[in-house]
Amino acid sequence: MSDAGAARIGGPADEVPPIADTSGIREPTTRRGARTRATLVAAARTVFERDGYLTARLSDITAEAGCSIGTFYTYFTGKDEIFAAVLEAAQDDMLHPGMPHVADDDDPAAVIEASNRAYLVAFRRNAKLMALMHQVAAVDPAFRELRRRRGRAFAERNARRIAELQQRGQADPGIDPLQASYALSGMVSRMAMDQLVGEGADLEELVTVLTRLWINGLRLTDRSGEPAR
Amino acid sequence: MSDAGAARIGGPADEVPPIADTSGIREPTTRRGARTRATLVAAARTVFERDGYLTARLSDITAEAGCSIGTFYTYFTGKDEIFAAVLEAAQDDMLHPGMPHVADDDDPAAVIEASNRAYLVAFRRNAKLMALMHQVAAVDPAFRELRRRRGRAFAERNARRIAELQQRGQADPGIDPLQASYALSGMVSRMAMDQLVGEGADLEELVTVLTRLWINGLRLTDRSGEPAR
Amino acid sequence: MSDAGAARIGGPADEVPPIADTSGIREPTTRRGARTRATLVAAARTVFERDGYLTARLSDITAEAGCSIGTFYTYFTGKDEIFAAVLEAAQDDMLHPGMPHVADDDDPAAVIEASNRAYLVAFRRNAKLMALMHQVAAVDPAFRELRRRRGRAFAERNARRIAELQQRGQADPGIDPLQASYALSGMVSRMAMDQLVGEGADLEELVTVLTRLWINGLRLTDRSGEPAR
Amino acid sequence: MSDAGAARIGGPADEVPPIADTSGIREPTTRRGARTRATLVAAARTVFERDGYLTARLSDITAEAGCSIGTFYTYFTGKDEIFAAVLEAAQDDMLHPGMPHVADDDDPAAVIEASNRAYLVAFRRNAKLMALMHQVAAVDPAFRELRRRRGRAFAERNARRIAELQQRGQADPGIDPLQASYALSGMVSRMAMDQLVGEGADLEELVTVLTRLWINGLRLTDRSGEPAR
DNA sequence: TATGAATGAGTTTTCATTCAT
DNA sequence: TATGAATGAAAACTCATTCAT
């Protein structure tokens, strides 16, 4: 899962840094344990999305999960750790946002549009969780750092793609690729956060305007040198 | 003060909605009272910026101000109210960010650049407070709503300006002015938040890339129809 | 207060190290505050002596003092700190155990007897507290260290006195004064702990045997060279 | 094992009361069971000595033993019971401290010295455990009582020996044998606790001074009426 | 206006103990 | 015998808020 909010122009998804070091410790051994843990994670997501991270009490989570407080501590050390687990569990859904794999020689404008749509669709599907991540990042430095690292990974990938387009003469050479990548990715993710949380903004409208701003912003042209679109 | 983050293309600053309903109650009557209140607000800003909104305790603030807890309640009803007062006190500095007043018939690209620079300079000057505002908005619905209203006011003003440029044939007519305004303003404010808090990013570099993306994004041309810049 | 348990042969009492660093912090400003604090300390002594240090709950102490838990934390940071305050309050009673000030040229045997009696009387008067101190020292390294420092101070003072007697030819020269001091002081304090806590052992009997063992142990003689007593 | 700390003047060791009523229940029947139990006891000693009795958690012990918590309860009812088992296992080493068996008509001074040395050597070998026993006795009344009974047994045996010496005119008749026994034994054990736990005090030095104080204290003479030594 | 003592609800966290597998 | 998941009572501690002086 990522709030990097960006048109991911190709590239493998596994460059993305892992969410947290929940490595090995307190991993349930038995099937029963795994089930309980999963129940807790699901309950946590429900409660967090309903009450917010700060307001949520551990006892709310265990009540929702139908187990005791003690059981919570069998699997997690605290609220932050189970939140990390919630993110981890949601990650798959966010990492594979159904983005159509597009060949490099395709129309770059089409790739950008597809990427933006994919991102926004995935975002909307997990809107509450994204907003939650936003809140937690504002409150907990560890998650803030996580978010930063993820954002950087996405921005760098996109920056490489922009640089390629510049080299081929298909994008404005007067723009710093990395900074532009940050700016445009940030634009998309900020729009998603502002318009897709709570309100039911028209997603296609967002795709249209954001894609247009990406393409215009980079002065993207197709192979023939004509302005894209 | 605003986190709307945007090139404010002209327009008076006083369209901006007020921060909070600190309506009249508990306003100090004596001169000594006014002094105490001001001391508390200054102390609160210091403590909030140092410890964060959530972590800061009222007792920290009164300790910093050198007065008792009781005195705090003479002037404020709680943490949110004194935070509003902190914003209010900082507002002047944020509302007049030294932005050069530019005539409407000037080069629009220059106006955008000047606006962006003015915003970023003001942002950097109050970076900690801006980050704080960000945190509080993530946590307190009242401040979230305040932020939203301010963002909308700025976006609508910018949208009007974009529409004007479109009507004059100086901007891409295929773009929804309001959405573009949200997107581009969001891009700037997000960049500011990411790059100007903590790290000492090169401000002119930011101005350059953001302005370029604004201009490119809108396909801005000068009066003669030539691409701006 | 001290568990050094020893015949204190002359010497000022103020060489003794202080109990704890309760210095200045959370000291009540008003008379009312001082009263509350004192009430808490008295309540703590009662509860500690009744329930033991480990068993005692802070809520028991505040209940006994007739105040809220919050009030407790107005004055103390935790159980250990209020225990230190209890010791501090009891210290005066233990430091001036009515020991008759005896001139140096007096009969040393009489001095030792008086010292032992004074120590045992003071001990018995505070027997529960002494036992408590014993328990806490077994449990909390900070108090263990305190006890050790106090013991050393007493032992060293007594060692000096023993060395003087040896120089005058009134004590067995073949004994290491410091080690003997530790051993004999330890003997007295251990006896006190074993026989004066709970059971009502005959105090004079203890004085007799302990004094005899001191005198014999050091082969104490009077000025004429005759065995003391 | 005993903390009676005393020169044991002759006499069989088995007068000593047993440690605890681990009577028959939960005794392992199979060989595997016996092995598991022994592993737990060893682990408990390790953990207790490392963390202290109060701090040690059962889960620490089972972790150290490499078995599950459930297994613990197969053999013990709780922390106190396994601590008793630890003492029991260590008892042999403490009961046979390599003390040379000395005939009754030997030089009593030599016997006392040998006894003291034997005690201190055994104490030092098990210093951590002795300190532990001390801590537990301060905390758990059952172990306090155990310690008391053991102390009494030793003191009474020594008292009989002292009385014999008095009857033979070899010791100060003006001393109550039982009280002196308590006092001198306590002196030795207190010294051991203070000087042999943690710090590496010179054992022979301790033997020397303690033996001297015993002999002097009792005004011990040899058969010819000459002062011992 | 200023003070600071008093309050106590509210949450987290620990860990011995049970018990189904 | 061995396992380890589940339990929940118990206690510490925080801090916004009130109020008498």
Of B175, B206, B209, the CB nearest to A212: B175
Residue C2 above 70 pLDDT?
no
Q: pLDDT of D18-27, one tens digit each?
A: 565 554 456 7
The mean pLDDT of B166-187, rounded to a whole number, is 95
Of B174, B191, B219, the CB nearest to A186: B191
* Nearest-angstrom CA–CA distance, B89 and B40: 12
Contact pairs from chain A to chain B, CB under 8 Å? 97
Proximity of residue D141 CB to strand E below 7 A = no
Residue C5 above 50 pLDDT?
no
Q: Is D197 on the interface with C (CB under 8 A)?
A: no
Q: pLDDT of C167-204, one tens digit each?
A: 999 999 999 999 999 999 999 999 999 999 987 899 99
Q: How confident is the model at residue B15 (pLDDT cuts 50, 70, 90)?
A: very low
What is the pLDDT at residue B21? Answer: 56
Distance between the alpha carbon (CA) of A83 and the C1' atom of F2, Å: 34
Distance between the alpha carbon (CA) of C120 and the C1' atom of F18, Å: 50
Q: How confident is the model at residue B227 (pLDDT cuts 50, 70, 90)?
A: confident
Of D194, D195, D217, the CB nearest to C213: D217
Long-range Cβ contact pairs of A160-167 (< 8 A, separation 24 or more): A160/A11, A161/A9, A161/A10, A161/A11, A162/A9, A162/A218, A165/A108, A165/A218, A165/A220
- CA of D69: nucleotide with nearest C1': F4
Q: How confident is the model at residue A99 (pLDDT cuts 50, 70, 90)?
A: very low
Q: How far is C94 from chain D (nearest CA, A)?
A: 22
* B 80-119 → A contacts, CB under 8 A: none
Residues of chain A by 3-state class (helix, strand, coil), percent to 5: 65, 0, 35
Question: Which bases in strand E are touched by protein, i.e. have an atom under 7 Å from a CB?
Answer: 1-20
- Backbone phi, psi, residue D227, to 5°: -50, 135
What is the pLDDT at residue B10? Answer: 35
Cα three-residue angle D7-D8-D12, rounded to 5 degrees: 170
Residue C52 above 60 pLDDT?
yes
The mean pLDDT of C48-57, rounded to a whole number, is 96
Q: How confident is the model at residue D6 (pLDDT cuts 50, 70, 90)?
A: very low
Are D216 and C218 in contact (CB < 8 Å)?
yes
Taking the whole predicted model, whether its pTM rises above 0.75 is answered as yes
Among A178, A206, A213, most B C-beta atoms within 10 A, so best to mutate, is A213
Higher-pLDDT residue of A87 and D106 is: A87
Q: pLDDT of B18-41, one tens digit each?
A: 565 554 456 777 888 899 999 999
Residue with smallest Cα–C1' gap to F9: A70
What is the pLDDT at residue C18? Answer: 57
Side chain identity at residue B172, one-letter code? D
Q: Is the dihedral of CA B79, B81, B86, B91 positive or negative?
A: positive
Distance between the alpha carbon (CA) of C33 and the C1' atom of E7, Å: 14
3-state SS assignment for residue B165: helix
What is the pLDDT at residue C163? Answer: 94
Of A205, A209, A217, the CB nearest to B213: A217
What is the pLDDT at residue D98? Answer: 39
Asked if chain D contacts chain B via 3 or more Cβ pairs within 8 Å, the reply is no
Chain centroid, CA A212 distance in Å: 21
Domain limits, chain A:
13-17+92-218
Q: Is D194 on the interface with C (CB under 8 A)?
A: yes
What is the pLDDT at residue D91? Answer: 85
- Backbone phi, psi, residue B103, to 5°: -70, 150
* Nearest-angstrom CA–CA distance, D42 and D31: 17
Q: Is C203 on the interface with D (CB under 8 A)?
A: no
- CA of B68: nucleotide with nearest C1': E3
Token readout for D77 is 């009812």
Residue B200 above 70 pLDDT?
yes
Residue A22 above 80 pLDDT?
no
The mean pLDDT of C64-81, rounded to a whole number, is 96
Are D135 and C134 in contact (CB < 8 Å)?
no
What is the pLDDT at residue A12? Answer: 34
The mean pLDDT of A178-189, rounded to a whole number, is 96
Q: pLDDT of C98-108, one tens digit each?
A: 444 455 666 88
- Backbone phi, psi, residue B44, to 5°: -60, -45
Torsion of CA A209, A215, A216, A221, to 10 degrees: -150
Q: pLDDT of D200-219, one tens digit each?
A: 899 999 999 999 999 999 99
Q: How confident is the model at residue A16 (pLDDT cuts 50, 70, 90)?
A: low
What is the pLDDT at residue D126? Answer: 94
Asked if chain B contacts chain A via 3 or more Cβ pairs within 8 Å, the reply is yes
Residue with smallest Cα–C1' gap to E11: A57
Are D175 and C209 in contact (CB < 8 Å)?
yes
The mean pLDDT of B159-169, rounded to a whole number, is 92
Task: Please state, rounded to an integer, the average pLDDT across all residues of chain B.
Answer: 85
Give the range among A150-159, B171-180, D73-82 with minimum mean pLDDT. A150-159
The mean pLDDT of B10-14, rounded to a whole number, is 35
Proximity of residue D79 CB to strand E below 7 A = yes
- Backbone phi, psi, residue D221, to 5°: -125, 160
Residue A95 above 90 pLDDT?
no
Q: What topology does CATH give the domain D13-17+92-218?
A: Tetracycline Repressor; domain 2 (1.10.357)
Of B179, B189, B213, the CB nearest to A184: B213
The mean pLDDT of A155-172, rounded to a whole number, is 92
Cα–Cα distances (Å) from D87 to B55, B68, B135, in that order, read 49, 57, 58
What is the pLDDT at residue B188? Answer: 96
The mean pLDDT of A177-197, rounded to a whole number, is 95
Q: Is D217 on the interface with C (CB under 8 A)?
A: yes
Task: Please state, rounded to an integer, the average pLDDT across all residues of chain C.
Answer: 86
Residue B13 above 50 pLDDT?
no
